[in-house]
Structure 1
Amino acid sequence: MKGMELSRRYFEEYGRTMIDEKLSRYREYIAAGLVGEGSECFGFDDQLSADHDFGPAFCIWIPESLYETAGAEIQKAYDSLPQSYMGYRRITSAQGGGRVGALTTEGFYRKFTGLDHAPADNMEWFRIPERFLATAVNGQVFVDNNGRFSQIRSELQRFYPEDVVKKKLAARCAMMAQTGQYNYGRSMKRRDFQAAYLSCGEFVKTAMSAVYLLNETYMPYYKWVFRGAEDFNVLRETVERLRNITMLPDTAENSAKKEMLIEQVCVDVGRELNRRGVTRTTEAFLQAHGDELMRAIRDVRLRNLHIMADCD
């Protein structure tokens, strides 16, 4: 059984009753669901996932002001629920603590975004790593009587503002041009296979980020990057090219094939930018697209940043 389904059933059977009977005086402040860290929150869990930080569990989000006075009581009520359910027992690792049970709405979002509210301007959006936004908006909310948790969640799910997307895509174009179209081939010609390996790795990671941006989806952390792209409608063939690149060792025999795949990926991204009307250049070298994107940014704070800012 998938972890999300297990969590929902557990909540419906035990969580709702707990809230209604033991925590009724706090009901109007409570939101509950399963969102955050863990493959089950993304729907990517499998049999291997069940060996750690898996089992019947859910989150209870309440305002910080309430947590100060009632957090311990709410956690105690949660801890009194059955530890086993439908043949599964919650297994928590040292790294998996604090993911479920009584949490604060403000603390949850602050953990992943650095803010206890939705980003208020372009710079606040720009500073939040994609993988943390992916984590903050995954999963499911089963109930939200207070509304604040879902309000912030909804605003984050709308995706980055237009200028932030342009800045991020400009950075991806510049990095893809540098690592893939320029440095990979030069490193192979020097037989500097270590530099070639690192260049290719940076290229694949950055190109996948561009694909996610163009699908208006936050890219999760590295482990789930390709898994999360399986259902994309935009640049599906590009994802397959990138998958093929990862399967080719950096040897002299593979160099030409990898360079061809890298170039095809860059052409794909450039054409998609053209199709959307965000760039007009038809140059294959993606640096040109990055430069054009930078010029199109209206927010002077973003426009004045280094083109590669956000690719650190």
Structure 2
Amino acid sequence: MADDAMDARLEQALLGMQAKHAHDFDAPENGPAAQGGNELHDFDVNEFLHGLDAIFDAHNAAEKAGPYLEQAAVDAENAGDEAGLLTVLNETMGFYRSQGRHKENQWIVQRALELALHMGLEGTESWATTLINCATAMRAAKRYDQAEDLYHQALDCANKNFAPNDRRLAALHNNLSMLYSETNRLPQAEIELRQALHIVEAASVNPDADIDVASSNTNLALVLLQESKLKEAHIHATKALTIYETGKLTHSAHYASALAGCAQVLYVEHRYGEAASHYRSALAVIAECYGKDTDYYRVTEANLREAEAQIGNDDVHAANSADATSTETNTNTDATAEIAVSGLKLARAFWTQVGKPMITAQYPQYVGRIAAGLVGHGSECYGFDDAYSQDHDFGPRFCLWLTDDDYEAIGEQLEADYEALPRGFTMDAQGRVTFIDIPFSPTTPRAQGANRRDGVFRIGDFFESITGYRTAPAQTAPHEWLMLAESTLAAATNGEVFADPTGQFSKTRQGFKDMPDDVRLALISKRLGMIAQAGQYNLPRSLKRGDSAAAWLSIHEFVQATASLVFLVNVPMVVGYMPYYKWQFAALRKLSGSMFALLPNVGEQLETVMRLSSAACYGGAGFGEGGKGAATAIKKINDIVEQIAADIVKELKREHLTTSGETFLEWQRPYVEDHIASDDPVLKSL
């Protein structure tokens, strides 16, 4: 396939993602007026937004939205309502972008920025949302340097004003990823999209029916496709469509983007007939929502024609794929470890192809009440499993979560039916999994009985088995939160939820993600104390007195405390909790690879400390790095410890958690604890 065709399809899908009328990206109606807006009230912002909504809901945007927005701008300006005018300008930018009216949009962008500055909004939440809209308009006009500068200004402002799980942060990461995609910086684009997806999933009550989660999956699929990660692209593209169907969102304008994105994946898989079908469906949605006289419609139509021209080649490619598949197909459960498939992917396929149809057929009255997914203990729940992970407790599995009443009614029988599901599987060259009726017993004794990792659970029992709590401790019970290890919370909140019709499982899981900020700050203070005690004080003293064992253990405590602090500073609600020791650094590397991770260099520095620790603690002449003995390693470790401390202080200052430049971190604790709102003594150091 030609590169320009790939680019066209990518741009078409991204246009769909951005050509949306969404007030949550615009300046709050009351914010600007309160910060310098005019007191006149002749222009009714709410009435304006309701009228614009009605135009979009009636799918009349192509004919009526432009004149409506132009008249609204005149009305707001005549009324002297600067806040209202800024709202109109933000909405106009989005609409002009969707219509390809980029030249006209340049004037709107300039006017919006000048108006916001005139109103004194710089540095506020409203300034951040205006910057986002302006940057996206510039990106659509292919003025990438200006767009990137505006996005970074927006990100800096948003990090100071938005909560970590604010959907507008996810939108900002999504938009920035598009800029990186269009300027051929695909690894950065992928990082931004994964960050966006993580935020919006954390913010969602039911990610399986959330339109923002669907849009993020579509965009991620397209970037993965450009990176030639076809299997993963297919997963995210089809997941997006499933979300639209589950949430009954197929009449949304955004559905066109998901259809077109999936069509592009199918095209690359040489499934041209299916690709053409998806493009036709996308065209119908685009025509209904935006009209036919748009770039969006024209690009999608061109893609359809190209897919139709290829129809007939499907059988040839399918035959070639079949030949390749024969070497990768495996029906022997003893050899499943040879198949390169992740546990989460296998679990989702097992649910979609086997579990869900069984429930639909045998428990039709409970289809809308059973949650499914894979969460808890096991490498695959963290997404870190590999070929070495498949030698024990590996195989097709998922969890089914029921309310107490439903468990009493069907739990025992549903467990028996789950255990009877076919567990053998094959995988073709495109990564598609097929299940076959071979019995499978994948678990070691440690993953059975009370410690089982899959099957049917009461929601409360499931979380109690991991944390000791049926639901998360109350926000007003910090002592209970402090008794929960981060690794425990990581196990309770990892993995994926495939379906949750009632939202009850996701709500309970979200409760464990939502660590009270006072508790987070108290833990940051404790980690600062341990970093100071173990790394800055006891480590150099132990090395000086020649107590190698004490020095070794000091390094261990320092590394643990520092790694934990990185996760806490980045906010567990957004990035998750630090998992148990085996996957601690895998998670830290993944977090550090995020474009906007805080303290991104610390993980690599800690690994250097550990690498040098044997030479520093037990080295002598001719031992260790370069054969120079312990002295060189000791100096390097001490330097790294102090550099990490300095970086931490810099970050605390940026977060406004301290005003002190003291780098001995014990003295930073009172400054951090001053931000703890609660008077509960359990949250304060002695």
State the TM-score, normalizing by the size of structure 1.
0.93
Q: Distance in 2 between matches of 1:161 and 1:295?
A: 16
Matched with 2:406 is: 66
1:93 partner amino acid: T
Match of 1:102 among 456, 460, 479: 456
Match for residue 516 of structure 2 among 161, 166, 182: 161
Work out whether residues 4 and 34 of structure 1, in 8 Å CA contact, stay in contact via their aligned partners in 2.
Answer: yes
Corresponding position of 1:138: 494
Kindly indicate whether residue 621 of structure 2 is the aligned counterpart of residue 242 of structure 1: no
Distance 1:92 1:118 in 2: 29
- In structure 1, give the amino acid aligned to 2:504: R
The counterpart of 2:566, out of the listed 211, 233, 242, is 211
Residue in structure 2 matched with residue 180 of structure 1 by the alignment:
535
Alpha-carbon deviations, 1:212-243, whole Å to 9, x = none? 11111311001111100123221111111111
Residues 85-94 or 20-29, more deviating: 85-94
1:155 positional shift: 3.2
Q: Name 2:395's counterpart in structure 1.
A: 55
Structure 1 counterpart of 2:446, which letter?
A: Q
Q: What is the correspondence of 1:276-295 to structure 2 with a 5 Å cutoff?
A: 276-295=655-674
Aligned residue number for residue 360 of structure 2: 20
Deviation, 1:296, is 2.9
- Deviations, residues 152-209 of structure 1 (Å, cap 9, x unaligned): 123333x422211110000000010000000000000010000000001000000000
TM-score normalised by the chain length of structure 2: 0.43
Aligned mates of 1:85, 1:196 — CA distance in 2: 50
1:236-278 CA-partner distances (Å, limit 9, x unpaired): 1111111100101124332121111111111111111111101
1:45-79 deviation per Cα after TM superposition (whole angstroms, max 9, x unaligned): 00000011111111001122332342210101101
- What is the one-letter code of the residue matched to 2:486? E
Which structure 2 segments of 5+ residues have no match? 1-340, 428-434, 592-596, 620-629
Cα distance in 2 for residues equivalent to 1:90 and 1:11: 17
Identity of aligned residues (%): 37
Contact kept, 8 Å, 1:22 with 1:77, in 2: the verdict is no
Looking at structure 2, the residues matched to 72 and 304 of structure 1 have their Cα atoms a distance apart, in angstroms, of 43
Per-residue displacement from partner, 1:279-300 (whole Å, max 9, x unpaired)? 1111010001112222332212
CA distance in 1, matches of 2:472, 2:422: 35
The equivalent residue for 2:274 is none
Equivalent position amino acid for 1:194 in 2: A
Matched residues in 2 for 1:33 and 1:267: separation?
A: 42
**Residue-pair matches, total:** 306
Structure 2 counterpart of 1:259:
638
In the alignment, is the contact (CA less than 8 A) between 1:172 and 1:207 conserved in 2?
yes
Greater relative contact order structure (CA < 8 Å, 6+ sep): 1
Partner of 2:171: none
C-alpha distance in structure 1 between counterparts of 2:391 and 2:534, whole Å: 38
Distance, in Å, in 2 between the alignment partners of 1:301 and 1:126 is: 12
| 1:195 partnered with 2:550 | yes
Task: Determine the C-alpha separation between the residues in 2 that align with 1:212 and 1:5.
Answer: 26
Mapped partners of 1:187, 1:203: distance in 2: 13
Separation in 2, partners of 1:272, 1:290: 14
Query: 1:303: how far off?
Result: 5.5
Q: Judge conservation of contact 2:373–2:398 (CA < 8 Å) in 1.
A: yes
Counterparts of 1:41 and 1:231, CA distance in 2: 15
In 2, Cα distance between equivalents of 1:196 and 1:152: 42
Distance 1:174 1:112, change over 3 A: same
Distance 2:417 2:571 in 1: 39
> Which of 46, 57, 66 in structure 1 is aligned with 2:386?
46
Q: Name structure 1 gaps, 5 residues minimum.
A: 308-312
Range that drifts further, 234-243 or 110-119: 110-119
* 8 Å Cα contact 2:414-2:456 kept in structure 1: yes
